[in-house]
Copies of this chain bind each other. A is one copy, B any other.
Amino acid sequence: MADHDPARDPLYPDPRRQISPQERDALIAALDQVLPTDALLHHEEDLRPYECDGLSAYRRLPLAVILPHDLAQARAALGICRERGIPVTARGAGTGLSGGALPFPDGVLLSLARFNRILELDPVRRMARVQPGVRNLAISEAAAPHGLYYAPDPSSQIACSIGGNVAENSGGVHCLKYGLTVHNVLAVQMLTIEGELLTLGGEALDSPGYDLLALIHGSEGMLGIITEVTVRLLPKPERAQVLMAAFDDAQTAGEAVAGLIGAGIIPGGLEMMDNDAIRAAEDFVHAGYPVDAAAILLCELDGTEAEVSEQVMQVRNLLLDSGATEVRTARDEQERMRFWAGRKAAFPAVGRISPDYYCMDGTIPRRHLGRVLGGIAELSRGYGLRVANVFHAGDGNLHPLILFDANVPGELEKAEELGGQILELCVEVGGTITGEHGVGIEKINQMCVQFQPAELTQFHGVKAAFDPEGLLNPGKAVPTLHRCAEFGAMHVHRGQLPFPDLPRF
């Protein structure tokens, strides 16, 4: 847009040239040649709904939004962008939390919303072949009559699309036991920026050649446009039961998590909430949580009748031995759903007690849960901002919610800085700056903390192998070395260089 100066845009440290109004008009005209009227938006009011994804702190308008109906249209439009050197950002349902689908101001936003058909669902082969715009939950709904479901269940599963799940390698409550998106996808069909259609993976356990299927997972739209996804379906467990354990302090709860996993239990879900989160959720949905507890654990066990019955007893004893002050097993399916309703409503519930909140996503080795929760509390006091914790304890995936008021000048910046500090604390204990929300634009600076220059250079090499001109979703996920140098963090890598005294050649 005319009001955009790339040289000053903090999101794009290595800006591309700004395109002229003439170039923009010529681009729209060319796209208009290959797309039906309803598949090309370019008036400002039509572009507004696409200015951000779930990370609403950053907003940019693209030059145009295209909504192709089929592969031929997508390919033709992509060809036009490529010829003219126009960046393309793909967008699924726009529920991403790290700004991965934030439009590039001098680029085109490619929405896959119309790629929304389930092409094949075979209960015998336990697979579904779907278009990328199909909603996550819609797959499980279609599979339900056959007693099957699609396992990864991000909180946004009602709305988020499977293509976006692949791009972000989404997790969910059940990923400790059932894995991330990459563990549940058999094949992906994608369009390269050159317009080639690639089939990655297949129905066999392994595929020869380099594992491009895994590579595309979590690549945040930087390597290609996903046009079809084949997912694995699982049989619904015969029985599920949930236990809720209350603790006097969060550290003890953290240690109980390590104890459960150490005893060889792999729960279907293992979630933790601290007192702020418990109170907010209880006020909102009346889940029956103990509001005086410093922390609760929700532990879901699923499997056959025999297996679940045996494990419920074992887990109950383990939790009590670990110092739980109270352990309750859901009396019936209704109570089980209520226990989960509280957890699932925790984010909006926190939204009720604070004008704004900033949801973080970092992962740490489970054994450091106690230490990191302590560190977060300390940072919270230092910044004078409350932090509620609701998270996937089983896989050490933290979701600290930083409470702030965007109307108080400086609070957003303070919240962002606190968030950055929390992520760096995660890296310090051997964790990572993202569990399941991706890097996008939100955590691009922390990538400089997580990786060494050699590793970032290798990432850029891989990117260039797919997209040599850098047209796919520029400015996201992998920072340039220049950016890291500016961020001043290249010297830090897990405390030290791994082999500082080795000869270099």
Contact between chains at B204 and A363 (CB < 8 Å) = yes
Given contacts A124-B367, A202-B431, A204-B432, 9 further A-B contacts (CB under 8 A): A175-B205, A189-B498, A192-B454, A204-B365, A205-B435, A208-B443, A209-B478, A212-B459, A462-B465
Which chain B residues border A204 with CB–CB below 8 Å? 363-365, 395-397, 431-432, 435
* Smallest CB separation, A459 vs chain B (Å): 5
User: Which residue of chain B lies nearest to A222 when distances are taken between CB atoms in the complex?
Assistant: B210
Contact between chains at A505 and B76 (CB < 8 Å) = yes
User: Provided the pairs A205-B363, A206-B434, A461-B466 are in contact, do residues A505 and B75 lie with their beta carbons within 8 angstroms?
Assistant: yes
* Smallest CB separation, A14 vs chain B (Å): 18
Complex-state Cα separation, A432 to B209, whole angstroms: 11
Assign chain A's interface to a size class. 35 or more
A430 near B: Cβ within 8 Å?
Answer: yes
| Most central of A195, A208, A210, A217 by chain B CB within 10 Å | A208
A502 near B: Cβ within 8 Å?
Answer: yes
Complex-state Cα separation, A461 to B224, whole angstroms: 14
A374 near B: Cβ within 8 Å?
Answer: no
Complex-state Cα separation, A311 to B211, whole angstroms: 34
User: Provided the pairs A458-B466, A462-B210 are in contact, do residues A76 and B503 lie with their beta carbons within 8 angstroms?
Assistant: yes
* Smallest CB separation, A31 vs chain B (Å): 13
Binary per-residue interface labels of chain A (209-248) against chain B in the complex, 1 for a CB within 8 Å, 0 otherwise:
1111011011100110000000000010000000000000
The 18 listed contacts between A and B (C-beta, < 8 Å) are: A71-B502, A169-B206, A175-B205, A197-B498, A197-B499, A198-B454, A202-B431, A203-B365, A204-B396, A205-B363, A205-B396, A208-B218, A209-B456, A209-B459, A211-B215, A212-B215, A303-B307, A465-B465
Beta-carbon contacts under 8 Å, A429-471 to B: 430-436, 438-439, 443, 447, 450-452, 454-459, 461-466
The 5 closest A-B pairs by CB, nearest first: A214-B214, A461-B465, A79-B505, A196-B454, A204-B363
| Most central of A169, A207, A210 by chain B CB within 10 Å | A210
* Smallest CB separation, A7 vs chain B (Å): 27
Which chain B residues border A311 with CB–CB below 8 Å? 304
* Smallest CB separation, A177 vs chain B (Å): 11
A49 near B: Cβ within 8 Å?
Answer: no
Contact between chains at A206 and B435 (CB < 8 Å) = yes
A408 near B: Cβ within 8 Å?
Answer: no
Which chain B residues border A459 with CB–CB below 8 Å? 209-210, 212
Contact between chains at B502 and A197 (CB < 8 Å) = yes
